[in-house]
Structure 1
């Protein structure tokens, strides 16, 4: 058909117009997706991605739901499209997961650990490509995207060791000829629902530990980061195939809230790990607990940093800057409140303002050099930022720095913002806004600062900057911070994988990653074994 069209144009137009006609025809046939762009195509295709990708995996890739675009928040251009899963697809992968668990749970734990080791090695081989994908799909700067993959690798290393170390106890029995012991066994299918801000690492926290403990995983990532979910699963798939393991060990379904509801209601899934907002997490918890299932909840955080007048400000100000501005304020551990003792308030505010001004020249797309600050994830997040700024002004707050949207940019860029002159208990200060807005508050005493830290609903992360041992030990003690993460002289964000990660109160109480978080992925049985020829009863009861 193309040749006759060109012939007709040759007859009607001068030959000099042919090139223009061909260019227009080629332009009409070219893809609108970034995956066809020479900048992005190499690493996206290395990850096994195409212009349209199937979003369900249970050993085979398939999908029968609606098709959505994945958007680059730096430019609001589509990266590629994904066909999501349907309810029928969901039921199929649950059955595949059940079958996989029957096999996987019988494999010795150290051998399971070796598979997790291989997953970590496969991630190492793809760390740059996957990190780049995370950066363009979520919006975080490239070092943070690569760092997120590194976090998955680190937890794989941790889980390998765990596979040879998790243990029950042998306890003294009061009855002769008896042994009292604890036995830990896997739960089954672990439902993992993750958020957009860490589209790879949070899944890794859960999967590495869950697999080492003998479980299988069923993952629903955020609807706005489906390509990261697919690419990460393809990396895991390579390891499963090399070892002739069923794909149901690491099932994936891309979808919306309907799939999340199905996971929450499904009695075949004994544990649901949910990361997201407090409001949605509450609904997940109610639904899962109604069927007496278990949850790990990683919800919101209205995190505070306290700076006492004896603090080293050369540490404190850069730490606040990183905690408040990093990932454009979209970490659950982002610092949203800064509580400063009155004697150094002006000095801290001035120093922080200088740091914020320096970032103006370092805002941009993830792949640009020397970038520290990227976009918000969606246009809806920009709208929320603008509404919050309006509410701050109506509440008589002062915009000390920022407060504007970068409307000249194609992406979802907003100014990092410092707010002063609001009371510590103002409703807007107590409201978590997932944006780079920092409320600076002036306190008089250590006791007042701790009270303000604890008065919000959430209890995820907290930090104090001080060189006073009395403040330090009170801060980490029973009457100090009520958060799950209690830091001294470091930011609220940037947790290591070796410790348990999670928070208290409306943050949900769940714990993931290191320490003894593995216990949440297993069921504990207390076993009493009688190897005698008598039947003594506990507490000396006689029943004869």
Structure 2
């Protein structure tokens, strides 16, 4: 892995970085990055001091004054070059993501591909940041709206997607003319340092002002600092619902903007009219991909009672073929959980299942042996539960799949919508009426609703996010770019008189 770090240009690991600069003062606090793959220490990353944070804010504010004046297509050209740099470093960065976070190598590469895709999307967007033109009720007047950048965009990202979610926010923020400050998870700091290095090289070649892209590393105190900082008009935060409520309250208390993408508790409804070959494959990838640590992971299967036994038996057969181990080995399907704290949460959830009368179809356990020396590997499990069980109301970041039966379609929808979270959802059916009802106003209450694909694996072209305790934010595609800009309505009077709106008379 040290060779990978060297190839990515990471030699001196210091944080509190602004584009192209490694701040050297106050190397007291630090983070040690350990891999959940083998438990080994990868490197030490020094934390951002309060003095360095203030310096970075000042640099960012100065950079914004210049960067916002660059024409959007020119900003898009810089982002195009970032995408090209990511293509060149896809293998190495994907391997680092896999090793530091623990997801499979295929998923590590896939995450970097998401970064490349959002770069491509943003390049196109650089020539489409348009507003509306409206007809005025007053003669000789023209009305239109335009969009301006906000300034500094703060990005707080989670460990499970250590690079992709940053890029969703950052590329859109940059193409809109903003500058960014990124606070990554303290569990995956090296992935962030690698991204900063790749970006810094591109920016330096293009003569960008120092401070467009900024990285700060440390614990949650830094995240709280961003949330409370009036110099940061927009804070985009990805993580747990508890974290999101704290960030939302802090940002709202100063009347700033927050973009929250929080917990998911996602379900797939499997009807008697489902293609079970598709349904089983989607359910398994959704449940065990990234070891169940995606916000879009499939937590619940809501299965019609007439096909429950068939689905259960096919799941058991498929689970028996899962290979668990080092995620850098492409033969393995499931890697480790992020750390031993996550393992404890997994064990706690299993114990709660037992207390609530859950029936274990496949027992879960912590895996032991030389191949699992980090202590972070667990066995994916399946539990049949009642729809009103408390355990299914919460999100556990682990490969635990809950099976629930239903009798009629309205009951299935009610079960699907009965949890506090509202991120992703899916239905497996070849029945057109069922599919359309699932997507209708009386169907899924989630921000993402799919037919005959699983809950996990969103494309960057569509806006990503959910409702209820998922936070209501939207990132990535569609018109999510508007989150990173302020709307301005303009009226131009090109006549020789001054008529008032609504026909009001005001004579002097």
**Superposition TM-score tier, normalisation by shorter sequence:** over 0.9
SS of 1:53 mapped into structure 2:
coil
Question: Residue 258 in 1 paired to residue 218 in 2?
Answer: no
Q: Which residue of 1 aligns with 2:285?
A: 322
For structure 1, which segment, 362-371 or 391-400, has the greater mean C-alpha deviation from structure 2 after superposition?
Answer: 362-371
What is aligned with 2:366?
Answer: 405
User: Within 5 Å, which residues of 2 pair with 1:199-218?
Assistant: 199-218=162-181
Matched, 1:249 2:209: no
1:55 aligns with 2:15: yes
| Paired position in structure 1 for 2:331 | 370
- Counterpart of 2:87 in structure 1 is 124
* 1:517-532 → structure 2 map (5 Å cutoff): 517-532=480-495
Match of 1:357 in 2: 320
SS in 2 for 1:527: strand
Aligned counterpart for 2:378 among listed residues 393, 396, 414: 414
TM-score (norm 2): 0.98
Q: Distance in 1 between matches of 2:23 and 2:162?
A: 21
* Residue in structure 2 matching 1:386, options 340, 347, 357: 347
Partner-residue secondary structure (3-state), 1:296: strand
CA contact (8 A) 1:237 1:247 kept: no
- Establish whether residue 95 from structure 1 lines up as the match of residue 55 from structure 2: no
Counterpart of 2:464 (choices 484, 501, 504) is 501
Match of 2:111 among 148, 158, 161: 148
Q: Which has the larger radius of gyration?
A: 1
CA distance in 2, matches of 1:326, 1:156: 25
Which of 99, 106, 110 pairs up with 1:136? 99
Contact 1:57 1:247 in 2 (8 A): no
TM-score, normalization: structure 1?
Answer: 0.91
Deviation at 1:179, TM superposition (A): 0.5
Q: Secondary structure at the match of 1:202?
A: helix
User: Paired residue for 1:458, among 418, 421, 425?
Assistant: 421
Question: How many pairs align?
Answer: 501
Corresponding residue for residue 310 of structure 2? 347
Give every structure 1 segment of 4 or more consecutive aligned residues whose post-TM-superposition deviation is greater than 3 Å.
Answer: none
* Separation in 1, partners of 2:394, 2:146: 43
If asked which structure has higher relative contact order (CA below 8 Å, sep 6+), I would say 2
C-alpha separation in 2, matches of 1:438 and 1:259:
34
Task: Compute the displacement of 1:388 (Å).
Answer: 1.0
Contact 1:148 1:201 in 2 (8 A): yes
SS at match of 1:240: helix
Partner of 1:395: 356
Two-structure CA RMSD over aligned residues (Å): 0.9
- 1:39-60 per-residue CA deviation (whole Å, 9 max, x = no partner) reads x22211011223x510121131
Which residue is equivalent to 1:237? Answer: 200
Listed as ranges, the gaps of 5+ residues in structure 1 are: 1-39
Give the structure 2 partner of residue 171 of structure 1.
134
Q: How far apart in 1 are the matches of 2:451 and 2:170? A: 30
| In 2: Cα distance, 1:238 partner to 1:402 partner | 49
User: 1:220 matched to which residue of 2?
Assistant: 183
Q: CA deviation at 1:83?
A: 0.6
Q: Is 1:283 matched up with 2:243?
A: no
Any conservation in 1 of the 2:30–2:218 contact (CA below 8 Å)?
no
121-130 vs 54-63, which moves further: 54-63
Task: Flag structure 2 segments of 5+ consecutive residues without an equivalent.
Answer: none
